[in-house]
Amino acid sequence: MQTEHLINLLLLGGVSGVVGQALRIIVGLKKLNYNNSVAVTTGATQQDFSWARMVLSIFLGFIAGILGMLVEYFATDNNNVNVGPELIVAITAVGYSTVDFVEGMFNAYLPKHTDDKVFLPIEQKNK
């Protein structure tokens, strides 16, 4: 019974994290739409939507929600988690903010989208 309860809590945490990340995706799509409409009027290059980045961010939201629920589970007395609206909103916020933090930290290390062809090291030697 205890294991089943923990698995249910972890799934609830994961889904709540995905909901938080979905909210963040909606905000990002709105921003992308606005930036592209400005780019059309000014003649600048439009930004492309990245499905891979969206799927990765949803996965990170799921993991962040699970980790947030684990923290709540081990922080309560006798591992008795009181599931209520406050907890769901908190875990949703964890999914939103954690992925925002992680993407912000690694933004400098992730390659930017360019039209330049990327060569493997062996291909560069043959040029």
- Whether 11 is in a domain gets the answer yes
Exposure string over 81-103, b if 16+ CB within 10 A, otherwise e:
beeeeebeeebbebbbebbbeee
pLDDT reported for residue 103: 79
- Whether 45 is in a domain gets the answer yes
Give the pTM.
0.75
- Whether 118 is in a domain gets the answer no
Distances, alpha carbon 107 to alpha carbons 40, 46, 101, 111, 124, in Å: 26, 19, 10, 8, 26
Q: What percent of the chain has pLDDT over 70?
A: 84
- Whether 121 is in a domain gets the answer no
- Whether 9 is in a domain gets the answer yes
117 burial type by CB count under 10 A (0-12 exposed, 13-18 middle, 19+ buried): exposed
Please tell me the total count of domains within the chain.
1
Q: pLDDT digit of tens for each residue in the chain (127 aa)?
A: 588 888 998 999 999 999 999 998 898 889 888 888 888 888 887 778 778 888 888 999 999 999 999 988 888 877 778 788 898 999 999 988 888 888 778 776 766 655 555 555 555 555 5
For 43-70, the pLDDT digits (tens) are 887 778 778 888 888 999 999 999 999 9
Please name which of 73, 62, 67 lies closest in space to residue 15, comparing C-alpha atoms: 62
- Whether 117 is in a domain gets the answer no
